[in-house]
Amino acid sequence: TIDPERFRETFERYSEIGRTDADGLHRLALSEEDREVRDRFVSDLEDLGLEVRIDRIGNTFGRAEGTDPDAEPVLVGSHLDSQPYGGRFDGQLGVLTALETLRTFDDEGVDHRRPIEIVNWTNEEGSRFKPALMGSGAFTGELDLEEVLEHADADGVTVAEALEEIGYRGEAPAEPREPYHSALELHVEQGPKLEDQGLSVGVVEGVFGMAWLEVVVHGDADHAGPSPMYSRKDALVAASDVVGAVRRLSNRLADDVVTTVGELEVEPGSINVIPSEVRFTVDVRSYDDAVVGDLVEAVEREVEAACEREGVEYDLEEIWRIPHTEFSPLVAETALAAADDVGASHRAMVSGAGHDASYVNEITDTAMLFVPSVDGKTHNEAEFTEWADAEAGARVYAETVERLANA
């Protein structure tokens, strides 16, 4: 059994790195704060006697050998980057639950036949650099490594440059050294379902499909006073029409549809100037991949119609699409049985948030555990998970990993 005090102390220590005034976390991928937390993680892995490996996209692994040198390893872990002014639990809790599991095995001499690899994936959030799940996507071959290394943030800094800057451009190939046996990731739910039902643990059997679009509307700057309304080409009027249309698409086509415009930037952004250019993003999701496809087409039609009404031009690019995931029944059943045996209240569920585990599922049998988010709140400094739930999750996690590592 895990050591609740050590677990919590470690969590508090990691939470200091990039902590915000409102007790959230601002630790964007490949930032100075990310470097600092990665250094801490590497030093904790070394203290545990693990062999540390950093790959070309900065994914950081620690390997605990098993008793059977020929057995395929089990992969555990999550991500340490955060959203801008995000929460302390998103990602970090999964890495530290995996770390606590390995510390417990080491402390208590828990035998495991298979090697166990713990990982911190690079840029899960997709906020500073798009797309999300970048490290796991490159590692599993689902994203093109050389291409994503050249993706730039808003200041034009590329992933490759940022990795270099923080000293995490590793030399190990960004690919598995050998086939894995299985993988398990713990994460906060980031939604309200577990809390609504008063449960401590979710066994995640699938993840929504999702698509990200980037739209740039090209209007024409002019004066807010003497420019007659009939002559205007206002990029913001067209973009705002699309924001409303995207909202109206939610819960259409299927019950589970969610649609969001999260970024929107206006040029030149002067109070008495008609906006000449607006760049915005659209995020659409459903468990049904065909519905995601229909949503993308519906957004395209709305952009076209709004821009035609206003007489403005636009560019539209689909910058990311990931189909829905069906996790491994083998791993999910192992986790459900472990939750039963540990005595944690639980249910099976699917995730509306994307996770590195989706890409990992492409190369090995994978599933996830969720612990509840208070009020369902996440990507917000107020994100919170009750410690009793975090501990219950860690107990189920350690038990499941032990079973997988000896299977």
Ligand X SMILES: NC(=O)NCCC(=O)O
The residues binding a second copy (CB under 8 A) are: 83-86, 125-127, 130, 132, 189-192, 208, 210, 212, 220-229, 231, 234, 236-237, 239-241, 243-244, 247, 250-251, 258-266, 268-276, 281, 283, 285, 351-354, 376-380
Considering the complex, state which of residue 70 and residue 223 has its C-beta at the smaller distance from ligand X.
Answer: 223
Q: Of these, 2, 57, 132, 138, which contacts ligand X (CB under 6 A)?
A: 132
What pairing do the DSSP bridges indicate for beta strands 201-207 and 346-351?
parallel
The nearest distance, CB 234 to a second copy, in angstroms, is: 7
The nearest distance, CB 382 to ligand X, in angstroms, is: 15
The nearest distance, CB 43 to ligand X, in angstroms, is: 26
Burial tier of 9 (Cβ tally within 10 Å: 0-12, 13-18, 19+) = exposed
Q: How far apart are CA 299 and CA 321, in angstroms?
A: 14
- Any contact of residue 294 with ligand X (CB under 6 A)? no
Q: Binding to ligand X (CB under 6 A): which residues in 89-118?
A: 90
Considering the complex, state which of residue 109 and residue 229 has its C-beta at the smaller distance from a second copy.
Answer: 229
Considering the complex, state which of residue 173 and residue 262 has its C-beta at the smaller distance from a second copy.
Answer: 262
Ramachandran angles phi, psi of 221, nearest 5°: -65, 140
- Any contact of residue 272 with ligand X (CB under 6 A)? yes
The nearest distance, CB 320 to a second copy, in angstroms, is: 9
Q: How far apart are CA 347 and CA 173, in angstroms?
A: 38
The nearest distance, CB 267 to a second copy, in angstroms, is: 8
Considering the complex, state which of residue 6 and residue 321 has its C-beta at the smaller distance from a second copy.
Answer: 321
CA dihedral sign, ordered 353, 359, 362, 367: negative
- Which residues touch 278 (CB under 8 Å, ≥6 apart)? 216, 217, 219, 235, 236, 238, 239, 264, 265, 266, 267
Q: Are 215 and 281 in contact (CB under 8 A)?
A: yes
Q: Answer with the entry of ligand X, a second copy, none that 377 interacts with (C-beta below 5 to 8 A by kind).
A: a second copy
Question: Which residues make beta-bridge pairs with 19?
Answer: 25
Q: How far apart are CA 342 and CA 328, in angstroms?
A: 21
Q: Answer with the entry of ligand X, a second copy, none that 361 interacts with (C-beta below 5 to 8 A by kind).
A: none
Q: Are 101 and 110 in contact (CB under 8 A)?
A: no
CA dihedral sign, ordered 26, 30, 35, 40: positive
CA atoms lying within 13 Å on the CB side of residue 168: 29
Q: Answer with the entry of a second copy, ligand X, none that 385 interacts with (C-beta below 5 to 8 A by kind).
A: none
Considering the complex, state which of residue 112 and residue 355 has its C-beta at the smaller distance from ligand X.
Answer: 355
- Which residues touch 262 (CB under 8 Å, ≥6 apart)? 281, 283
- Any contact of residue 372 with ligand X (CB under 6 A)? no
The nearest distance, CB 85 to a second copy, in angstroms, is: 5
Q: Of these, 53, 112, 355, 395, which contacts ligand X (CB under 6 A)?
A: 355
- Any contact of residue 354 with ligand X (CB under 6 A)? yes
The nearest distance, CB 345 to ligand X, in angstroms, is: 23
Looking at the chain, how many residues does it have?
407
- Any contact of residue 353 with ligand X (CB under 6 A)? yes
What pairing do the DSSP bridges indicate for beta strands 182-188 and 365-371?
parallel
The nearest distance, CB 318 to ligand X, in angstroms, is: 15
Q: How far apart are CA 123 and CA 131, in angstroms?
A: 9
Structure tokens at 121: 């994936």
Considering the complex, state which of residue 211 and residue 401 has its C-beta at the smaller distance from a second copy.
Answer: 211
Q: Answer with the entry of a second copy, ligand X, none that 120 interacts with (C-beta below 5 to 8 A by kind).
A: none
Q: How far apart are CA 165 and CA 30, in angstroms?
A: 8
Considering the complex, state which of residue 40 and residue 232 has its C-beta at the smaller distance from a second copy.
Answer: 232
Ramachandran angles phi, psi of 154, nearest 5°: -60, -25
Q: Answer with the entry of a second copy, ligand X, none that 261 interacts with (C-beta below 5 to 8 A by kind).
A: a second copy
Question: Which residues make beta-bridge pairs with 138?
Answer: none
Considering the complex, state which of residue 124 and residue 205 has its C-beta at the smaller distance from ligand X.
Answer: 124
Question: How many chain residues interact with ligand X (CB under 6 A)?
Answer: 12
Q: Of these, 225, 228, 229, 230, which contacts ligand X (CB under 6 A)?
A: 225
Return residues touching ligand X (CB under 6 A).
Answer: 90, 124-126, 132, 190, 223, 225, 272, 353-355
